[in-house]
Amino acid sequence: MSQTIQAVLDSVRTKLRAADIESFSIDAQLIVSEALGVDKIKLVTHNTDEISDDKLNIIKEYTARRLKREPMQYILGRCEFMGLDFKVDRNTLIPRADTENLVEEAINIIKEKGYRNVLDIGTGSGAIAVSIGKYTAAEVTAVDISKAALSIAEENARQNNVYVNFIESDLFANVKGSFDMIVSNPPYIERAVIDTLDSQVKDHEPLSALDGGEDGLDFYRRITADLHRFLKKKGCIIFEIGYNQGYALYDMLVKNNFRNISVKKDLAGMDRVVTGYIS
């Protein structure tokens, strides 16, 4: 029996709400509008239109995925970051609004210092690399250990008309040359904490994008140890960090002879971005 847009919307909303999905109302709208290929306004203005069986099946599939707490961004296959559209799938971390702090700071420094080239380590969807390429004149190179993530990142660069030199690499292993700035949002979650994360993160996002080792600092240690080989004179390292990692990163950069080190907070008042320079 055919059903109207309104009836289907109500039914999806009820199912998501019963499963304690906080964003049940907006998610229901997104699911139905995506399946029908119409914008959300049309769900209101055409709410008595009937939905065909094939579209109903798509709505059922999306709803079932959301009930398993798959993030909406993976169901839609896209998300927004720095005002740009990015494709995402289960091989790429979903770019976070917090990471816009890192990108904004990086862009300001690149412009202020007239930096010409930047390396992004652990690029994932390419969110950081593509945004820097879009909003500055710097040449951008980006690496990731995941071939699958890199192929999504390449699509994102193409889709946003940005050139990024993508390299499959375990950190610096396949990187040649030196850079004015190295930027990274590496995996930084303490291993024991991963199990306590929301199912949307721990059961759906790639573990290789989250796991920062026992104390969460493994990647910072490995990257920092090689920075002097890959940063140009007066170059800058800029890391995204976890809310409780400010002191550890400050200390690590001091011990590695960086200067003008600063730890910046995000809008929630949490340590989020650390920068340091070499002489």
Rounded to the nearest whole angstrom, what is the least distance from the CB of residue 171 to ligand SAM in the complex? 4
C-alpha–C-alpha distance, residues 277 and 144, integer Å: 24
- Nearest to ligand SAM of 27, 205 (CB atom): 205
> Which residues lie below 8 Å from residue 278, measured CB to CB, with a gap of 6+?
227, 228, 231, 233, 234, 235, 257, 258, 259
Contacts to ligand SAM from residues 210-269, by CB under 6 A: none
- Return the SS3 of 234: strand
- Nearest to ligand SAM of 243, 257 (CB atom): 243
What is the pattern of x (binds ligand SAM, CB under 6 A) and - over residues 72-111?
---------------------x-x---x------------
Select from 34, 144, 180, 271 the one that contacts ligand SAM (CB under 6 A). 144
Strand partners, 141: 119, 165
C-alpha–C-alpha distance, residues 7 and 263, integer Å: 51
Eight-class DSSP state of 98: T
Select from 141, 156, 185, 200 the one that contacts ligand SAM (CB under 6 A). 185
Rounded to the nearest whole angstrom, what is the least distance from the CB of residue 167 to ligand SAM in the complex? 10
Stretch that binds ligand SAM, among 28-36, 185-193, 194-202, 245-253 (CB under 6 A): 185-193
Torsional class of 222: left (φ above 0), alpha (ψ -120 to 50), beta (otherwise): alpha
Q: Does 131 bind ligand SAM (CB under 6 A)?
A: no
C-alpha–C-alpha distance, residues 179 and 235, integer Å: 7
Residues that bind ligand SAM (CB under 6 A): 93, 95, 99, 122-125, 127-128, 143-146, 149, 170-171, 185-187, 208-209
